[in-house]
Chain A
Amino acid sequence: MEFLSLPYIILIIFAFVLYYAKANYHWQRAVLLLSSVIFIGYYHLMYLCVAVGIALFTYYAGRLLYLKRGTKSSPYILAGSIVALAGGWLAARYWSPLFPLGISFYTFQALSYLIEIYWEEEDPEPDLLNFTLYMLLFMKFLSGPIERGYDLLPQLKKAHPFCYENITYGMKSLVVGAFMKLVIADRIAPFLNAVFGAVHGASGIQLLESTLLYPIQLYADFAGYTNMAIGFGIMFGFKLSPNFNRPFVSITTGELWRRWHMSLSFWVRDYVFVPLSAETRRWKSWGIYFSLLVTFTAIGVWHGAGWNYAIYGLIQGLIIIYETAAAKQRDWLQNHMLKQIYKPLFIIRTYLLFAFSLLFFRIEKMSDICYVYQHVFDGVNTSLKETNLGMPDFNWIAFGIAVVLMFVFEYFNSKRDLLKLVTRQKVWFRWAIYYVMIMLIFLFGAFGVEDFIYIQF
């Protein structure tokens, strides 16, 4: 049951109507729990059993950690819990014939919850139902954001009365997400899939074009999903964490990772990089480099069972190590170059590095990845017409305009909340915008093309 499917729309309508039928905490929690159970169980009953099992394990492990705080057994309990959770996740990832959807996201959520209790930054949640809802909440279950307990749990402990402004704001966020997913990501997806699925049949120019377009597809897909998740959250009175902050304006790969899949980046920063670099601080710079390499390889491995993912993470780590080591030279360049030249140059450099490293993320077979690197500058097979990748010209124009619109929207939205600005406009103008947006999605969106890319993680 994905966000843009008919069963999900029916579920969300029922859940929404029931949720606000009574502004009562117990009632609303029951509606959300039931909706989450239906949402997960609809995919596969086993997914629900695994998710509930992990939630129960984490809940009781958290209670035990709290009880044993300050004792000698406490680190062992934490280590045992981490081994059990990470082991379960690894087993599901590498050996299970059925990979439970969302497990990477909620396992990381469970790990952060336990570590925070161990560090005495947080107390365990006393109410089992609240905790289960924190783990299973349907809007963020499949692909995050990876929520921290101290952010989400307090929000689950109170009633959420009907708030017209919030609900309409959430709906606007939904529309923005749907636009990104349907008009941009899904529009280009079948054509990029055709190229990456049979790289030997594509010409050099098609490989180059697909390599350069893939980050945009991935971004529109995942950020579109996140906008929708955040929108659904707001409609039910929750504030979920943002996952993206205009990553393609980054001038370094390090900055890009502070703007890309932020809930994962910050998770590994807090629970892998910071403890590791603290442990290796006597190695000075080498300790930092080592920690960076381990952290980014962990990010790569998080994505999947395959050397390609590990290499993808490793490449990110190596680039960031280089950037850290060459920080002085970069500062010198920044001081001696015109800002108008330096910034675009480094933005393009960062984008290109990211795009070419993403090949390890997108293509599973190493031989195919090598083939792309070898032939990406081979030029054209027949004529320049093949640059359309089989997509009709009209769709290219619509796709191009949509991408520009997305970046322009994000630019102005970073200066001022455009969704709130719309709310303050006159009614005829607001409604015109709503109709135009819905029409644009209807006319130019590609429906039923494929699932969200990050659903597989």
Chain B
Amino acid sequence: METKDNKVNIGNKTSMRSMISKFYLKCVLIAIPFLLLIAYYVNKDPFLVIRPHNDYDHSTICLDEGAASWYKYKLYRRSQHYDSFIMGTSCTMAYRCEDWNKYIHAHPYRLFGNAEGLVDLYMKLDALDKQPNQPIKNLLLIFEQSLLSKNYMQSGPCYLMPPDVSHVSWLYYQMTFLQDFLDPLFLVPYLKFELTNRYEHSMKGIINPYGRSHFGYGNDAIYPNEIQIRKMGERYWQGGYWYKFGKRRFVATPGKEFSRTIFKVQQYYLRRIKEICDKHHTNIKIVIAPILERRKLNTKDVAIIRKVFGNDNVFDFSNSTDLSVFDKHNFYDGVHYRTVLGRKIIDAVYNKKYLMK
């Protein structure tokens, strides 16, 4: 009887153990594809966010430029002693540190972000302020209507700033990029490019076909359209993009202005920016960027900016009286303009040559 009971128990135990083993095996099987993908992601670090890198200028994919330029700043800040910053959206591409430095004689750096908003810009400035021994001697802020209209911190893998800037948790930050990596809309073109090393039109916006996107310690931009202009000359403004959108989008609307953009939240952040500048005795210059269709920033908005930063520090090129500013040869598209115009604007700002009212 005893023997029989023992046998039953042993039998039960054996089946229990096999059931438990089966369960663990299934758990591992479920996890394997995810673990493989995550291991690949961690190894490749395509967004350059997991560990520090020595090069943020070349990347396989279209990066979160805000994060990349912050990491690059941190990489070189000790050796380059940055003390002056150009901040704003991708429109800052028109402003070269070398050109700016002729007027300020400092150590400039272009700290920009994709489609940056006012709150993102403030967060970055606040993070700069909190860096140990970080002077902010000069600040060139490039404002435009789209930047001022964003009264929130942007999220998502194209805009999210590192935790020391955005104050999001490390887990949230890393998961944002990991999730984007696992998104089939990203993963499929990315893996295809990694396997074939061939760029296809379907990879647009995901894979960076140009290689280098900025250069030098100042983080100056390399805009691939400049190469196209050099190749094509006048034909650049006649064909392709310009032909397609010419009549519809870039009809000049002189005198027309945007509706009000700056409300309580924006005013709050403008004042906070001013407070940081006051703390560092920063020489601040604010450029309100021109756009090709000559639509100006709302007059009341400009007045608010002038009130916060002072009349002498705000330069409204969206309302410039010099029509050569709006010459299409100065622009790559409706909003992005070339360094030739950037140089002209810097010169106007620092030599008080009034290209604006």
A contacts, CB < 8 Å to B: 20, 23, 161-162, 164, 167-168, 190-191, 194, 198, 200-201, 381-383, 389-392, 395, 431, 434-435, 438-439, 442-449
Known: A167-B23, A190-B155. 14 other contacts (CB 8 A): A198-B265, A201-B264, A382-B259, A383-B259, A392-B156, A434-B30, A438-B30, A443-B179, A446-B172, A447-B172, A448-B168, A448-B171, A448-B173, A449-B172
* Stretch of B53-61, B122-130, B146-154 lying at the A interface: B146-154
Interface residues of B in 172-187 (CB under 8 A from A): 172-173, 175, 178-179, 182-183
Q: In whole angstroms, how far apart are the Cα atoms of A191 and B153 in the complex?
A: 10
Q: Is the CB of B16 within 8 A of A23?
A: yes
Contact of B149 among A191, A382, A444, A445 (CB under 8 A): A382
What is the distance, in angstroms, from B117's C-beta to the closest C-beta of chain A?
9
Given contacts A161-B16, A382-B261, A449-B172, A201 and B179 within 8 Å (CB-CB): no
Contact of A201 among B30, B151, B168, B172 (CB under 8 A): B151
Q: In whole angstroms, how far apart are the Cα atoms of A133 and B23 in the complex?
A: 27
Residues on the A chain within 8 Å of B155, using CB = 190, 390-392
With CB as the reference atom, state the residue of chain B lying closest to A163.
Answer: B19
What is the distance, in angstroms, from B209's C-beta to the closest C-beta of chain A?
24
Q: Is the CB of A442 within 8 A of B259?
A: no
Contact of A443 among B23, B30, B150, B183 (CB under 8 A): B183
Q: Is the CB of B19 within 8 A of A164?
A: yes
With CB as the reference atom, state the residue of chain A lying closest to B23.
Answer: A164
Residues on the A chain within 8 Å of B179, using CB = 442-445, 447
With CB as the reference atom, state the residue of chain B lying closest to A194.
Answer: B152
* B245 interfacial by beta-carbon distance below 8 Å: no
Q: In whole angstroms, how far apart are the Cα atoms of A434 and B26 in the complex?
A: 12
What is the distance, in angstroms, from B271's C-beta to the closest C-beta of chain A?
13
* B263 interfacial by beta-carbon distance below 8 Å: yes
* B20 interfacial by beta-carbon distance below 8 Å: yes
* B215 interfacial by beta-carbon distance below 8 Å: no
* B34 interfacial by beta-carbon distance below 8 Å: yes
* B241 interfacial by beta-carbon distance below 8 Å: no
Question: Which of B152, B154, B182 has the most chain A CB atoms closer than 10 A to its own CB?
Answer: B152
Contact of B263 among A164, A382, A434, A449 (CB under 8 A): A382
Contact of A381 among B20, B34, B263 (CB under 8 A): B263
Between-chain CB contacts (< 8 Å), 18 pairs: A162-B16, A164-B23, A168-B23, A201-B151, A201-B264, A201-B268, A382-B259, A382-B260, A383-B259, A390-B152, A391-B155, A431-B30, A443-B182, A447-B171, A447-B172, A447-B175, A448-B168, A448-B170
With CB as the reference atom, state the residue of chain A lying closest to B259.
Answer: A382
Residues on the A chain within 8 Å of B265, using CB = 198, 201
Residues on the A chain within 8 Å of B34, using CB = 438, 442
With CB as the reference atom, state the residue of chain A lying closest to B22.
Answer: A164
Q: In whole angstroms, how far apart are the Cα atoms of A391 and B171 in the complex?
A: 19
With CB as the reference atom, state the residue of chain A lying closest to B168.
Answer: A448
Residues on the B chain within 8 Å of A390, using CB = 150-155
Q: Is the CB of A20 within 8 A of B20?
A: yes
Residues on the A chain within 8 Å of B263, using CB = 201, 381-382
Q: In whole angstroms, how far apart are the Cα atoms of A420 and B34 in the complex?
A: 25
Q: Is the CB of A448 within 8 A of B182?
A: no
* B169 interfacial by beta-carbon distance below 8 Å: yes
What is the distance, in angstroms, from A113's C-beta to the closest C-beta of chain B?
34
What is the distance, in angstroms, from A383's C-beta to the closest C-beta of chain B?
8
Q: In whole angstroms, how far apart are the Cα atoms of A243 and B172 in the complex?
A: 28
Contact of B182 among A194, A200, A439, A447 (CB under 8 A): A439
Residues on the B chain within 8 Å of A198, using CB = 265
Given contacts A167-B23, A190-B155, A434-B30, A200 and B172 within 8 Å (CB-CB): no
Residues on the A chain within 8 Å of B16, using CB = 23, 161-162
Q: In whole angstroms, how far apart are the Cα atoms of A439 and B16 in the complex?
A: 31
Residues on the A chain within 8 Å of B170, using CB = 448
Q: In whole angstroms, how far apart are the Cα atoms of A438 and B29 in the complex?
A: 13
Residues on the A chain within 8 Å of B19, using CB = 162, 164
Q: In whole angstroms, how far apart are the Cα atoms of A442 and B30 in the complex?
A: 14
Q: Is the CB of A448 within 8 A of B154?
A: no
With CB as the reference atom, state the residue of chain B lying closest to A161.
Answer: B16
Q: In whole angstroms, how far apart are the Cα atoms of A434 and B33 in the complex?
A: 13
What is the distance, in angstroms, from B285's C-beta to the closest C-beta of chain A?
27
Residues on the B chain within 8 Å of A191, using CB = 152
Q: Is the CB of B156 within 8 A of A448?
A: no
Interface residues of B in 319-351 (CB under 8 A from A): none
What is the distance, in angstroms, from B66's C-beta to the closest C-beta of chain A?
15
Q: In whole angstroms, how far apart are the Cα atoms of A246 and B57 in the complex?
A: 52
Residues on the A chain within 8 Å of B22, using CB = 164
With CB as the reference atom, state the residue of chain B lying closest to A444.
Answer: B179
Q: In whole angstroms, how far apart are the Cα atoms of A299 and B179 in the complex?
A: 39
Q: In whole angstroms, how far apart are the Cα atoms of A23 and B13 in the complex?
A: 10
Residues on the B chain within 8 Å of A162, using CB = 16, 19-20, 23
Nearest 4 A/B pairs, CB to CB: A448-B171, A390-B152, A448-B172, A447-B175
With CB as the reference atom, state the residue of chain B lying closest to A167.
Answer: B23
What is the distance, in angstroms, from A63's C-beta to the closest C-beta of chain B?
38
Q: In whole angstroms, how far apart are the Cα atoms of A368 and B184 in the complex?
A: 43
What is the distance, in angstroms, from A137's C-beta to the closest C-beta of chain B?
23
What is the distance, in angstroms, from B151's C-beta to the closest C-beta of chain A?
7
Please, what's the 1-or-0 string for B239-277, where 1 marks a CB less than 8 Å from any CB in chain A?
000000000000000000001110111001000000000
What is the distance, in angstroms, from B174's C-beta to the closest C-beta of chain A?
8
Q: In whole angstroms, how far apart are the Cα atoms of A11 and B5 in the complex?
A: 36
What is the distance, in angstroms, from A186's C-beta to the closest C-beta of chain B?
9
Residues on the B chain within 8 Å of A391, using CB = 155
With CB as the reference atom, state the residue of chain A lying closest to B24.
Answer: A17
What is the distance, in angstroms, from A455's C-beta to the closest C-beta of chain B?
16
With CB as the reference atom, state the residue of chain A lying closest to B263.
Answer: A381
What is the distance, in angstroms, from A161's C-beta to the closest C-beta of chain B?
7
Q: In whole angstroms, how far apart are the Cα atoms of A448 and B259 in the complex?
A: 37
What is the distance, in angstroms, from B12's C-beta to the closest C-beta of chain A?
9
Residues on the B chain within 8 Å of A445, using CB = 175, 179
Q: Is the CB of B264 within 8 A of A200?
A: yes
Q: Is the CB of A448 within 8 A of B23?
A: no
Residues on the A chain within 8 Å of B156, using CB = 392, 395
Residues on the B chain within 8 Å of A448, using CB = 168-173, 175
With CB as the reference atom, state the residue of chain A lying closest to B265.
Answer: A201
Question: Which of A23, A383, A448 has the most chain B CB atoms closer than 10 A to its own CB?
Answer: A448
Residues on the B chain within 8 Å of A434, using CB = 30
Q: In whole angstroms, how far apart are the Cα atoms of A446 and B160 in the complex?
A: 13
What is the distance, in angstroms, from A175's C-beta to the closest C-beta of chain B?
11
With CB as the reference atom, state the residue of chain B lying closest to A434.
Answer: B30
Residues on the A chain within 8 Å of B171, using CB = 447-448
What is the distance, in angstroms, from A60's C-beta to the closest C-beta of chain B?
39
Residues on the A chain within 8 Å of B173, using CB = 448
What is the distance, in angstroms, from A251's C-beta to the closest C-beta of chain B?
37
